[in-house]
Chains A and B, each alone.
Chain A
Amino acid sequence: MTTDLSKAPEPTDSSGSTGSGGSISGAEILLEDVVKQYPGQKSPAVGSLSLTIPAGEIVMFVGPSGCGKTTSLKMINRLIEPTSGTIKIDGEDIRGKSETELRRKIGYVIQGGSLFPHMTVEKNIALVPKLLGWDKKRIDERVDELLDLVSLDPGRYRKRYPRELSGGQQQRVGVARGLAADPPVILMDEPFGAVDPITRQRLQDELLSIQRELRKTIVCVTHDIDEAIKLGDRILILQEGAQIAQYDTPEVVLGAPATEFVADFIGSGSSLKQLSLARVSEVELRKPTTATVGERVADVKQRAEAAGDRSVVVLDERGRPVGWPWLRQLKGDTVLEPTEDLVNIDLRSTLNDALDTMLSSSHGGAVVTGDRDQYLGVVVFDAVTEHIRSLEEEARD
């Protein structure tokens, strides 16, 4: 099956993930009747794929193992040469330039980050800018900027070697490296496949927030439909031989799966999956009593009891939440910095991720933060169920 390009959905700004933010710096990618037949195989790995990937969007490739996702992706940066067909980036045939020239303008991020173990974080990130002949000062500034962007303190991490980083940190550096030369297009192959679920959720949130700012064209392969729903402005669902089963926004894919195959692939609980589309920012936050580190405990208790709260959110001097103790846990004269790690969620997290965090909290809620980890409030179960109910009502109308 080939898709009629004219039927490709109009870009929608309602998906929420890239709806606002910087101006588009990505480039459109066009695949026309692209075929890849590996030698010695009966059927092609990719049989005539035609597709438009709009500039500035995240398109997620999903599908069962072996359906040709990676092959399709790698044809875009010519790590694999198509048997036939044309691929254009920004209207230009990718065969018009040398492979190396092409690839330096396409970020490439793969599972685990794939950092070079013999190079420091800094050197890893600086690779492509160096290939492009940037001067040292510009490279240095860029490395700092990128480390900041992926939430790693440059002073601490610049000189480290990959083996001195956690899996999640390595993956962050991998993303930073992919962004290094500010390429309009970024290709990712299961970028978050090798990290634990909590870290994955965080990395996904970070990617979304980076994308809000940069508006690159990102093509990302995953086998996790939930990840596709969460990250994608559009989802490409592929079948054996890279046949397009459906190519549309997550809302449409969830709401109106094109075929039996798509419905099966999404699996049951598609209304639950809608939670991956709704953001914390859409529900009402509660504002329980807060306390600042160093404040007198007696004052805090008085305030909390007056408000009818049995717990308080502790903030540090810079307004970032650091703990959420019950009143009875507040001991001594002044409020101390709590020792246990508080798992916050970002205002732009999906309700799905928020629920995950809430379930593991003894408060039945989660602390919500905004830019630069500033405290915003608390999201609780009731608010989420209320929101689901209103979504369902909307859907019925």
Chain B
Amino acid sequence: MWDFIVERREQIAYNTFQHFNLVVQAVVVATVIGVALAVLIVRAPALQGVANALSAIGLTIPSFALVGLLLPVFSIGAFTAFVAVAFYAVLPVLRNSVVGLQGVDATLIESARGMGMSGFAVLWRVRLPLAWPVILAGVRISMQMSMGVAAIAAYVLGPGLGGYIFKGLAQIGGANAVNYALVGTLGVVVVALLADALLLLLGRLTISKGTRVA
């Protein structure tokens, strides 16, 4: 196993980085989309039921199936993988953002308006910062989930560690089958832990001391 890794270390390192890269980019885009959608949804209560239903249904679509469905639309390659990962990544962020934004004390919002803050200022300086801890928790879930989805997206030749897993599966019984599968899986776990640590750090840096628990 060790030899297997050492022989391919450059390629493994590259793929690990690619995996990380794909997930982070997809989650960043998903966060922007999720939060933006949440802001719209919170504004129109009628949309809330629709949004909840959609995100519940969305999460039940097997990622493998989604990747398959996307293929005819976007051709094979990294972009399809990105779309698939981002699609799932939006859902937890969206859900948490809605909960977080709704959880902001109405008297604080009124107080902000009463002081003469514009609608945008209330959103940017009061509602989003107060909802941020909950949103960020959603981003963490999203990031973890996306690690697995990204591995599956390797089926359409997306970048990352998923390729090793598929290689291992394809060669079952062969000399390096287990090695491939293991490297792929462990790599994903390591990247996931690393990404989670980064998000924790981001939380430390961005969640106000005044609202941080403990």
Q: What residues make up the interface of A, taking CB atoms closer than 8 Å to B?
A: 74, 77, 79, 99-106, 108, 110, 114, 116-120, 127-128, 131, 161-163, 177, 187
**How far is it, in angstroms, between the C-alpha of A104 and the C-alpha of B210 when the chains are bound?**
25
Q: B62-99 interface mask toward A, CB cutoff 8 Å, 1 = contact, 0 = none?
A: 00000000000000000000000000000000000000
In the bound complex, do residue B116 and residue A101 qualify as a contact, i.e. CB atoms below 8 Å apart?
Answer: yes
Is the beta-carbon distance between A161 and B209 smaller than 8 angstroms?
A: yes
Known A114-B107, A118-B211; 15 more pairs at CB < 8 Å: A100-B116, A102-B116, A103-B114, A103-B115, A105-B116, A106-B116, A110-B110, A116-B112, A117-B211, A120-B210, A128-B115, A131-B116, A131-B117, A162-B210, A187-B114
Inter-chain CB contacts under 8 Å: number:
60
B208 pairs with A108, CB closer than 8 A: no
Provide the bound-state CA to CA distance between A347 and B201, in Å: 54
A120 closest partner in B (C-beta): B210
> Main SS of chain A's interface residues?
mixed
Interface CB pairs A-B, < 8 A, 13: A77-B114, A99-B116, A108-B114, A110-B111, A110-B114, A114-B107, A114-B111, A116-B108, A116-B112, A118-B211, A120-B210, A128-B116, A163-B210
Residue of B nearest to A174 (CB): B111
Q: How far is the CA of A99 from the CA of B107 in the complex (A)?
A: 18
Alpha-carbon separation in the docked complex, A161 to B116 (Å): 22
Partner of A119, one of B107, B114, B118, B210: B210
How far, in angstroms, from A150 to B110 measured CA to CA in the complex?
24
CB of B121 within 8 A of chain A? yes
| Any A CB within 8 A of the CB of B101 | no
**Contact partners of A100 in chain B: CB under 8 A:** 116-118
Bound Cα distance from A102 to B115, whole angstroms? 9
Chain A residues near B116: list those with CB within 8 A. 99-106, 128, 131
- Closest Cβ of chain A: how far from B205's Cβ, in Å? 14
CB B65 to nearest CB in A, in angstroms, measures 41
| A110 CA to B118 CA, complexed, in Å | 19
A118 lies within 8 A of B118 (CB): no
Are A119 and B115 CB-contacts (below 8 A) given A110-B107, A114-B107, A131-B121? Answer: no
Contact of B113 with A118 in the complex, beta carbons under 8 Å: no
Q: How far is the CB of B176 from chain A (nearest CB, A)?
A: 52
Give chain B interface residues in 107-133, CB to chain A under 8 Å.
Answer: 107-108, 110-118, 121, 126, 129-130
A contact residues around B110 at 8 Å (CB): 79, 110
Q: Which 4 A-B pairs have the closest CB atoms?
A: A161-B210, A103-B116, A104-B116, A118-B208
Q: Which single residue of chain A is at the shortest CB-CB distance from B115?
A: A128
CB distance from B136 to the nearest CB of A (A): 13
Q: Output the residue of B107, B112, B116, B130 with the most chain A CB within 10 A.
A: B116
CB < 8 Å neighbour of B115 from A108, A118, A163: A108
Docked Cα-Cα span, A163 to B117, in Å, equals: 23
Report the bound CA distance from A105 to B115 in whole Å: 9
Residues of B within 8 A of A162 (CB): 210
Point out which of B111, B112, B113, B118 has the most chain A C-beta atoms below 10 A from its C-beta. B111
Q: Closest approach, in angstroms, between the C-beta of B121 and any C-beta of chain A?
A: 7
- Complex CA–CA separation, A161 to B210 (angstroms): 5
The listed residue with most B CB atoms (<10 A of its CB), out of A105, A114, A162, is A114
Assess the B114–A118 pair: CB atoms within 8 A. Answer: no
In the assembled complex, which residues on chain B have CB atoms less than 8 Å from the CB atom of A127?
115, 117
Residues of A within 8 A of B129 (CB): 118
CB contacts (< 8 Å) of B112 on chain A: these are 116
